Amino acid sequence: MKKFMFALAALCVTVGMAAQQPQERPSKQGKFTKEDMENFKKAAQDRLQSEHVAYLTNELELTPEEAQAFWPVYNQAQAEQKANFEELNAAKKALKAAVKEGKSDSEVKKALDAYNKAKAGQRNVIGEYQPKFEKILGVAKTAKLYLAEDSFRTRQIHRLSGNGNGKGPQGGKPGQNPGRQPKERPVQRPEDV
């Protein structure tokens, strides 16, 4: 689930950054080409990755020795999570197709089992890497890592919601929107009915 949320947040941030960035000059025809869009997407992903690395480095207060040992293991974990996320998406697509097309129960069960196996694979990656992180960082910093991951993801989602401070819509706490108040409705009294 965390892998899915991270990938979703990364996708949202990429799209959001694309919407917030000043438009680059289109190609000679006056339109963005597929290559222009790919370059823009790559630049947005690179910016997100740089922000992510800086955020984790700062939050974990990594020493140079820890960073040298940590980042290769972390990058390997991220690569496995990405592969599992792609597997989960494929399994989900197959499951939806099986249900939509009215496949037999045995075919739907097969697709459902593949979907559940892919979901379990996500959790397994997180659990598999925890001892590796603990060996490099210690228990407290490993806990900080997981909390920092969630915090970074939340900040990026809030940034996409229209503010850049990571504190939720319109600068309040997450879930609050002080700029938008509910409409007052006239009170209907029994004598008005």
Residue of 121, 117, 116, 113 lying closest to 84 (CA atoms)? 121
Q: Based on the structure, what is the number of domains in the chain?
A: 1
Q: Is residue 181 a part of any domain in this protein?
A: no
Q: Say what the pTM is.
A: 0.61
Torsion sign, CA atoms 129, 135, 137, 140: positive
The whole domain housing 133 covers 2-20+49-169
Q: Are 133 and 73 in contact (CB under 8 A)?
A: yes
Q: Are 81 and 122 in contact (CB under 8 A)?
A: yes
Q: Spell out, as residue ranges, where the chain has pLDDT lower than 50.
A: 1-15, 17-24, 26-27, 166, 168-183, 185, 193
Q: Is residue 187 a part of any domain in this protein?
A: no
* Rounded Cα distance, 181 and 50, in Å: 37
Q: Is residue 59 a part of any domain in this protein?
A: yes
Q: Is residue 31 a part of any domain in this protein?
A: no
Q: Is residue 175 a part of any domain in this protein?
A: no
Instruction: Give the Cβ contact number of residue 27 at 10 Å.
Output: 12
